[in-house]
């Protein structure tokens, strides 16, 4: 009896242990599946389709805030093709999307949702989650922004502070915006859009109106000159209605309107207060953006500094110490995606060594394009001419594509690039060349050359830049309006018509 009991007991233990291990494995399996599902559930989707060949540039939110300037992806579509763009959304976000033929889009999307964007020859159509609100805002906000300018002008001309104050606190009172608010109210009442989308959309209109209202005082705010108490009161009144909104930089105009108000507040400080605000950092660390330090919402502060940083690279300008600014942001927001992006830009810049030193051509020796053939190193060469100026921001923005441009030129056997500036001040020109690292041939156009260009290229007394030309070996214009370097594919097609590729 005891012997049988002893023999059965280990068997029962083995059976229990076996069942326990099986249950444990089953539990782990379901845990993994649940984890995968949870990870997938945080991925939202924008599905792009098109009736024609097109390209969309995408600016997904960075750290949750609206990304105005840093492109994160490019979508190239053909008819009947589809591209599924997946990305993580914590709660909701707005994805900026641009193309060459359509107005920019701000696509609202929530966590775990799908938005469909269909491009046609004449329009953009939305389907899926909150499609009705996306379509309403896309079709209305741009035109509303244009018409609001004159409406706000009229509002301030009334000089009725009670009306201005009432509209500032309740933008629905502005009659010209009523149709937008009413449209959203109807969509929400019919359950066509979610509560989050409704709240976002109505605030987007609210901030658009306040942006236009504050924009009327941009000259006074930017110049830091004394302003009347009336204007100060108007600006303070507008700013107080949005300054504490934790999500303001998640909206399309959030950075702009907040930046305006910070500049206004900063201008009211004395020098001692401004220096104290910099927390021991030098003035050069923040440059003209020290006023962002007034922001006490950390995400808002980060988003504005991120935009300022990206603009330095986009337009090839040096308004502050980039390394110093990066070190400041890294110490403040070490886990931020924005800071990681900035870090890569700084690292690439420090490792970016010009191919050659700039060569400054004698301006007095070149009165027309055929004169280039007299210069050693340029004889019997095809010439790619870049017309620019140090003060031209679009020109400077194009220089960010110089690596791609140089790679393209390396495919051809007989071409040189010449930067021709129409600057009036030689110092400004040379300082820009150094800052922009423009290696190769540089020329400050003489009055004779400027007159020649106006006649031969523009057939006008005015010059618009940037402009790109291709000259043959005799200085004759083969193409007087090449595509910009940012459109490298079309530029290559144009060059292939005239140049022979290397074997």
Give the residue-averaged pLDDT of 132-140.
94
SS (H, E, C) 245-304: CCCHHHCCCHHHHHHHHHHHHHHCCCHHHHHHHCCCCCHHHHHHHHHHHHCCCHHHHHHH
Give the residue-averaged pLDDT of 47-75.
93
Q: What is the structure's pLDDT at 353?
A: 64
Q: What is the structure's pLDDT at 383?
A: 96
In which residue are the tokens 């960075």 written? 62
Do residues 276 and 294 lie in contact, with contact meaning Cβ atoms separated by under 8 Å?
no
- CA separation for the pair 199, 188 (Å, rounded): 10
pLDDT in tens, 20-51: 455 444 444 444 444 433 334 468 999 999 99
Overall size of the chain counted in residues: 503
> Residue 141's pLDDT band (boundaries 50, 70, 90)?
confident
Q: Is the pLDDT of residue 354 over 80?
A: no
Reading the block at residue 431, the tokens are 């300082």
Q: What is the structure's pLDDT at 15?
A: 47
Look at the domain 42-129 and name its fold: Immunoglobulin-like (2.60.40)
Least confident span in 9-23, 107-121, 195-209, 264-278:
9-23
> Residue 253's pLDDT band (boundaries 50, 70, 90)?
very high
- CA separation for the pair 378, 437 (Å, rounded): 21
- CA separation for the pair 333, 16 (Å, rounded): 51
Least confident span in 10-19, 89-98, 158-167, 493-502:
10-19
Q: Is the pLDDT of residue 2 over 50?
A: no
Q: What is the structure's pLDDT at 21?
A: 52
* Strand pairing category for 114-119 and 43-50: parallel
Q: Does the domain formed by 358-496 have CATH 3.40.30.10?
A: yes
Q: What is the structure's pLDDT at 17?
A: 52
- CA separation for the pair 491, 389 (Å, rounded): 21
Q: What is the structure's pLDDT at 42?
A: 60
- CB atoms near residue 415 (< 10 Å): 19
Q: What is the structure's pLDDT at 111?
A: 93
Domain spans in the chain, listed from the N-terminal domain onward: 1-41, 42-129, 269-352, 358-496
- CA separation for the pair 295, 289 (Å, rounded): 12
Helical (H) or strand (E) element with 184: helix 178-189
Prior bond of 292 cis (ω within 30°): no
* Strand pairing category for 415-421 and 382-388: parallel
Q: What is the structure's pLDDT at 490?
A: 92
* pTM for this predicted structure: 0.78
Query: pLDDT exceeding 70 applies to what percent of the chain?
Result: 91
> Residue 462's pLDDT band (boundaries 50, 70, 90)?
confident
Q: What is the DSSP letter of 224?
A: T
Q: Is the pLDDT of residue 5 over 50?
A: no
Compute the mean pLDDT over every residue in the chain, rounded to the nearest whole number.
88
Q: What is the structure's pLDDT at 335?
A: 93
């Amino acid at each position: 009896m005891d012997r049988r009991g002893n023999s059965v007991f280990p068997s029962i233990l083995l059976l229990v242990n076996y069942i326990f291990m099986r249950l444990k494995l089953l539990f782990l399996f379901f845990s993994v599946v649940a984890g995968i599902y949870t990870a997938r559930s945080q991925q939202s989707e924008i599905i792009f389709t098109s009736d024609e060949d097109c390209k969309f540039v995408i600016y997904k939110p960075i750290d949750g805030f609206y990304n105005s300037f840093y492109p994160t992806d490019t979508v190239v579509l053909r008819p009947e093709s589809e591209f599924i763009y997946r990305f993580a959304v914590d709660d909701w976000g707005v994805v900026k999307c641009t193309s060459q033929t359509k107005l920019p889009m701000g696509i609202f999307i929530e966590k775990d949702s799908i938005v469909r964007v269909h491009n046609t020859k004449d329009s953009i159509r939305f389907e899926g989650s909150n499609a009705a609100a996306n379509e309403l805002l896309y079709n209305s906000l741009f035109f509303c922004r244009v018409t609001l300018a004159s409406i706000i002008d009229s509002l301030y001309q009334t000089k009725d502070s009670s009306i201005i104050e009432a509209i500032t606190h309740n933008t629905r009172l502005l009659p010209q915006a009523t149709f937008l608010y009413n449209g959203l109210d109807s969509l929400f009442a019919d359950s066509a859009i979610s509560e989050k989308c409704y709240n976002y959309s109505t605030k987007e209109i609210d901030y658009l109106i306040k942006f236009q209202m504050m924009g009327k005082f941009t000259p006074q705010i930017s110049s830091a000159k004394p302003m009347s108490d009336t204007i100060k009161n108007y600006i303070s009144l507008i700013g107080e209605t949005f300054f504490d909104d934790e999500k303001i930089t998640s909206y399309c105009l959030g950075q702009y309107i907040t930046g305006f108000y910070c500049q206004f507040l900063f201008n009211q400080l004395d020098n001692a207060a401004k220096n104290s605000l910099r927390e021991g950092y030098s003035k050069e660390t923040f440059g003209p953006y020290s006023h962002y330090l007034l922001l006490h919402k950390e995400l808002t502060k980060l988003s504005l500094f991120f935009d300022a940083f990206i603009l330095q690279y986009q337009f090839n300008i040096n308004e502050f110490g980039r390394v110093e600014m990066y070190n400041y942001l890294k110490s403040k927001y070490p886990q931020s995606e924005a800071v990681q992006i900035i870090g890569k830009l700084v690292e690439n810049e420090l490792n970016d060594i010009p191919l050659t030193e700039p060569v400054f051509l004698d301006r007095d020796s070149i009165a027309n394009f055929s004169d280039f053939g007299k210069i050693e190193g340029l004889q019997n060469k095809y010439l790619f001419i870049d017309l620019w100026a140090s003060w031209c921001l679009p020109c400077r923005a194009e220089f960010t594509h110089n690596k791609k441009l140089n790679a393209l030129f390396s495919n051809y056997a007989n071409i040189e690039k010449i930067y021709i500036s129409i600057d009036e001040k030689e110092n400004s020109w040379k300082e820009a060349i150094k800052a922009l690292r423009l290696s190769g041939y540089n020329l400050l156009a003489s009055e004779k050359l400027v007159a020649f260009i106006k006649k031969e290229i523009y057939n006008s007394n005015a010059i618009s830049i940037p402009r790109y030309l291709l000259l043959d070996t005799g200085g004759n214009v083969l193409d007087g309006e090449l595509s910009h370097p940012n459109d490298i594919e079309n530029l290559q097609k144009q060059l292939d018509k005239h140049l022979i590729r290397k074997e």
